[in-house]
Structure 1
Amino acid sequence: MLVVGIQASTGTANALPGSLSGPAAAGQRAQLVEQATTQAPGLARSLALGSQEKLVVRDVVVDADGTRHLRYDRTYGGLPVLGGDLVVHQTAGGAVKSVDRATGRALDLKSLTPGLTSAKAAAKATTTVKALVGDTSDKDEAPLAAVGTADAPQLVVWAASGTPRLAYETVVSGTRADGTPSEQHVVTDAASGAVLQQHEAIQTAAGTGQGIFVGTVPLTTTQSGSTYQLKDASRGNQYTTDLAGKTSGSGTLYTDADNIWGTGTVSNGQSAAVDAQYGAAVTWDFYKNTFGRNGIANDGKGAYSRVHYGKNYVNAFWDDSCFCMTYGDGSGNTHPLTELDVAGHEMSHGVTSRTARLNYSGESGGLNEATSDIFGTMVEFYANLPTDKPDYLIGELININGNGTPLRYMDKPSKDGASADYWSSSVKNLDVHYSSGVANHFFYLLAEGSGAKSINGVSYNSPTYSGSTVTGIGRDKAAAVWYRALTVYMTSTTNYASARTATLNAAKDLYGSGSTEYNAVAAAWTGVNVN
């Protein structure tokens, strides 16, 4: 957890020229679809469609001048017609102006009885997809790595090309080499088994989000049909859900029609989700590009995030059992705890649980919390956002104290009124969020050194226990030392004395015994009274 410790309505959309949009569109859509459904039989007759053909409404668009565009799918004998869709353009009075058809061919099938069994169609589709393993025609699409079983084939009428005929559509699921899910749709002739079409239904998309803290940022989302999901297939399928004030369950996956998420305001429920999803993405990238770690558990699988937890919940936490992060909306449900270093902090608890698994009590608990503060800070520096300039302050934007002060200070932890600057025998009795101060202070000294300085416009003045001077080695080297110590040397019961040994061993491995870096590690620990 970060501290001791509704779904909002979306904003009004701007009207697009020549279209119906915003609340009016949402309110009228059901009525427009109903009207288009009522018109469907008459339109089918006027378009000279056969007696076995029916039109099924997919969408309706109304221009500002009242012109209507009715989009229909088509069925034949109750079967979906692939390539049978059309759009009827009407005047405001309902007169047909023109029609755009996917195919102009008449549908006149002699029989709807397939010559090929569904089992054979499934086998053909699976074989076809397996032939793609290790190969791809799209340079931006990773080759298939694994192919699963096929869903039950569905009889359809194929009208997208050539002579309309009876066919099977089979969905074969799999996974691409980069972890992206695959959903191959294979259409085979129901008589000969010949492959008529094959396409990938799962697409990654480049969306844009405006978060409360991160500002306007790119988001990698997943497109499924005409809907976008706040799911990142390129980073282990990590995704964000809305708990809508609940305190249990996995929540509802965020979806969006235009792939533009949030407004940057608390009143828009998506804005906090943008913060969480972007935070998860940057944390993934930081660990992967800095340490070669492939996800929190280093298994290529993404964690998921839950936002809008409970009511007035002033906290955020990592739950190893669900492999997920959860964020409350803060006081009055108006102060979400979705700041970037919070995201990095929570995901780093997962890293600790998969590595040293530091016990969450006593000195090891302080080291556990400090690890999350250290890497949450490093995530912030990695992102280097103009809206959240990186610093050594924890939770400085969420205003959890109500007076604009940060939750914790790494250069002089005692500035929060409770955290320890230096080790003493009583540190083990402190809450882990306060005993973490010793390690946070050590990391700051190792990265930046002691004394007064300004970094990104923030003033620091870090003291040492004995008044000694510590020269920093830079945060990248400091982070490398801590990560190696965590993943190679620390155990569940590591205390501050053994953390000193672990980091010295890490520095020796990375930079050599007696190196400047090794000596700086020793000096920084002495600076916080760990000898």
Structure 2
Amino acid sequence: MSSLSPTGGRARRLALTSGAAVLTGALLAAGAATASAGAAPEHHDATSVAATAQALGLGAKEELVVKDVIKDADGTVHTRYERTYAGLPVLGGDLIVHRAADGTVKDVTKAVKAAIKVASLTPKQTPTAATSAAVKAAKAAKTTGAAATGDAPRKVIWAADGKPVLAYETVVTGTQHDGVTPSKLRVITDANTGKKLYEIQLINDIAGGITAKGGSGAAAAGGAQVAAVGTGASQYSGTVNLNTTKSSTGYTLVDSVRGGSSTVDLKHKTSGKGTVFTDADNKWGTGSPANNQTAAVDAAYGAAQTWDFYKNVLHRNGIKNDGRAPVSRVHYGNAYVNAFWDDSTFTITYGDGDGNKKPLTQLDVAGHEFSHGVTSATANLEYSGESGGLNEATSDIFGTAVEWNANNAQDKGDYLLGEKIDIFGNGKPLRYQDKPSKDGRGSADYWSASVGDLDVHYSSGVANHFFYLLSEGSGAKDINGVHYDSPTVDGSTVTGIGRDKAVQIWYKALTTYFTSTTDYHGARQGTLKAAADLYGANSAEVKAVDAAWAGVNVKG
């Protein structure tokens, strides 16, 4: 269910690379604009962006497109760029320019070092051949009903493996090998040889290889005009307040305070837009999964708490930092044991769990799926190999942080993922951050050269373990009523710096230093830089980051 590895079995390791600040004078001359976090990319005028490309030494056929801008408290500006070559998107061509408040370039972070250049822009393979190859790859991945989307394959430059080649990008839809989860498989094929270069699943689910039941659907949002506050009886978080919208016939589960966040009912269908939940008296659910509204209460509450975490703790205004909220979809299929994020539809979708009795709408699951959207909007970590493990771990880390921040008496903060949804039917959580291998399903406690070959839900264990060690330290301890015992690879002792600081470091690294191809060693480098930015180059926090990575066998 989840992602697929690149061709050749072993996933590639592509380190985050940095350019020295020798470009300072040229980029100062470029006059590149600065902007605060959330500033629209179009605020960078074409002249300054073109001048930046020239100063970076990019070729005449290369252009930069601003994707995201983050401004630090000290005035440092981190501008994330996508790249094109002769008008074609360069996959793996993303880079970040880090400028001091006066415009001086401090550093440049690139997804790959290679110069972007191909011998010819005329493909030897036809788009039809690329489509056939992509559908064949999807069928090999056990995609049911594999079919290319209506759009023709997109011609691109594939650079993520380090050697730029002319390629086709095709998206094949269908159903994943569990027979339930929708599939949007992106396949990259060499435009000259027809060889498959890469494939990646665009549906980001939480459960990984766990067998699921159910179906698929599309999103719909409701609208109204007057904000209201109702109460909901949730299954996992007790009685909660819900921001709703009053309509002429009652109330809709639309939160106008938080970007128009809406919750819709798919009614156990596998297609269709779903229906926005409505209620006559603004009292929602009963706390029992037998009541159709209960799962909606948990989903809406999870969406609200996640929004508030990002806004109040990380100062981010929604997934794309633009004030827009996603749609939450519940009652997906029948007895579907999974939840997933779909970036193309901007939706979070929840199944009702085994027997339709344990919806996957727990608070940390909501935070997990929302955070997949944030990763896509920032570093856009490729969902395969080590970068895919970092993608999954990022969602686990922020899902955990959302649960702690909510401070809900019925769903207390912990370092366990999905501990209430009973996804295995034995009362055990989906994942353990203090010692990931406790899941018994192959999650990695430590980095090794082969960790990128694992499913991303299991390779994520390395970063989850790092986050726990950085937050709480190694060894046995009881926290908030849960017993943990976190080892290190070499028996060393790690002293934690607290979860709040660990979260800030991870978020800063994600948004200002990680790229689409960042691997575990690149993540170490990025978090060390983030800690230095936040707390000082010689701070205890920087030393703790270094020690925590060493504890999971990621060393300099």
**TM-score category of the 2 structures, normalised to the smaller one:** 0.5 to 0.7
- The answer to whether the 8 Å contact 1:411/1:461 transfers is yes
- Residue 341 (structure 1) aligned to one of 338, 359, 364: 364
2:395 is paired with a residue whose SS is: helix
- How far does residue 332 in structure 1 lie from its aligned partner after superposition? 1.5
Partner of 1:437: 461
CA distance in 1, matches of 2:513, 2:272: 36
Equivalent residues in 2 for 1:48-447 (5 A)? 202-417=225-440, 418-447=442-471
Query: Conserved in 2, the CA contact under 8 Å of 1:221 and 1:231?
Result: yes
For 1:16, the equivalent position in structure 2 comes to none
Deviation at 1:354, TM superposition (A): 0.1
**3-state DSSP of counterpart to 2:402:** helix
> Is 1:463 the counterpart of 2:495 in the alignment?
no
* 1:509 pairs with 2:529: no
Q: Residues 31-83 of structure 1, C-alpha deviation per residue, up to 9 Å, x if partnerless?
A: xxxxxxxxxxxxxxxxxxxxxxxxxxxxxxxxxxxxxxxxxxxxxxxxxxxxx
* 2:512 is the alignment partner of 1:488: yes
Deviation at 1:226, TM superposition (A): 4.0
**Contact 1:358/1:493, CA 8 A, preserved across alignment:** yes
**Matched residues in 2 for 1:342 and 1:499: separation?**
23
Paired AA for residue 547 in structure 2: A
Q: 1: CA distance between counterparts of 2:443 and 2:291?
A: 35
Identity %: 69
> Which residue of 1 is the match for residue 62 of structure 2?
none
TM-fit CA distance, 1:225:
2.2
Q: Could you say which structure has the greater relative contact order, defined with CA pairs below 8 angstroms and 6 or more residues apart? A: 2
Pairwise CA distance, 1:335: 1.6
- In the alignment, the residues of structure 1 paired with residue 514 and residue 272 of structure 2 have an alpha-carbon distance, to the nearest angstrom, of 34
Question: Could you tell me which residue of structure 1 aligns to residue 180 of structure 2?
Answer: none
Give the counterpart letter for 2:318 in structure 1.
G
Quote the Cα distance in structure 2 between the aligned partners of 1:457 and 1:469. 23
The correspondence for 1:2, drawn from 206, 210, 213, is 206
Amino acid at match of 1:436: S
Distance 1:395 1:412 in 2: 15
Task: Provide the C-alpha distance between the structure 2 equivalents of 1:295 and 1:333, rounded to a whole number of angstroms.
Answer: 30
TM-superposed deviation, 1:202: 2.2
AA of the residue aligned to 2:520: Y
In the other structure, the counterpart of 1:521 is 545
1:4 Cα deviation after fit: 1.5
1:204 touches 1:223 (CA, 8 Å); kept in 2?
yes
Measure, in 2, the Cα distance between the counterparts of 1:323 and 1:248: 16
Q: 1:151-175, CA deviations, whole angstroms, 9 ceiling, x for partnerless residues?
A: xxxxxxxxxxxxxxxxxxxxxxxxx
Q: Which has the larger radius of gyration?
A: 1
Shift of 1:486: 0.2
Aligned match for 2:501, one of 477, 484, 491: 477
Greater mean alpha carbon deviation, residues 225-234 or residues 279-288: 225-234
Partners of 2:289 and 2:404 in 1: how far apart?
25
Whether the 8 Å CA contact 1:318–1:324 is kept in 2: the answer is yes
Q: Are the counterparts in 2 of residues 242 and 306 from structure 1 also a CA contact under 8 Å?
A: yes
- Could you tell me the TM-score, scaled by structure 1's length? 0.63
Which of 450, 459, 463 does residue 474 from structure 2 map onto? Answer: 450
Separation in 1, partners of 2:373, 2:292: 26
Task: Compute the displacement of 1:247 (Å).
Answer: 2.2
Q: Which amino acid aligns with 1:3?
A: A
The answer on whether the counterparts of 1:203 and 1:223 sit within 8 Å (CA) in structure 2 is yes
Contact 1:366-1:433 within 8 A present in 2 as well: yes
Between the two proteins, the alignment pairs up a number of residues equal to 336
1:84-115 per-residue CA deviation (whole Å, 9 max, x = no partner) reads: xxxxxxxxxxxxxxxxxxxxxxxxxxxxxxxx
What is the one-letter code of the residue matched to 1:230? L
Matches within 5 A, 1:24-35: none
Counterpart Cα distance in 1 of 2:270 and 2:494: 46
Shift of 1:291: 1.3
Q: Distance in 2 between matches of 1:379 and 1:248?
A: 30
Alpha-carbon offset, residue 250 of structure 1: 2.7
Q: Which amino acid is the alignment partner of residue 516 of structure 2? A: S
C-alpha deviation, 1:322, in angstroms: 0.8
Question: Could you say what secondary structure the match of 1:425 adopts?
Answer: coil
Q: Per-residue deviation at 1:252?
A: 0.2
Q: Which runs of 4+ in 1 moved over 4 A?
A: none
Shift of 1:311: 1.1
Structure 1 residue 324: Cα displacement: 0.6
Write out per-residue CA displacement over residues 1-29 of structure 1, whole angstroms, 9 at most, x where no aligned residue.
Answer: 11123xxxxxxxxxxxxxxxxxxxxxxxx
Structure 2 Cα separation of the partners of residues 489 and 225 of structure 1: 48
How big is the shift at 1:346? 0.2
* Partner Cα separation in structure 2 for residue 522 and residue 415 of structure 1: 24
CA RMSD of aligned residues (A): 0.8
Letter in 2 for 1:361: S
TM value normalised by structure 2 = 0.60
Give SS of 2:404's match: helix
| Kept in 2: contact 1:250–1:306 (CA 8 A) | no
SS of the residue 2:320 aligns to:
coil
Q: Which residue of 2 aligns with 1:157?
A: none
Letter in 1 for 2:466: F
| Letter paired with 1:307 | V
Deviations 1:286-314 (A, max 9, x none): 00001110011110011110000011211
What is the CA–CA distance in structure 2 between the aligned matches of 1:297 and 1:323, rounded to whole Å? 10
- Secondary structure at 1:378's aligned position in 2? helix
- Offset, 1:395: 0.4
Letter of the structure 1 residue corresponding to residue 271 of structure 2: S
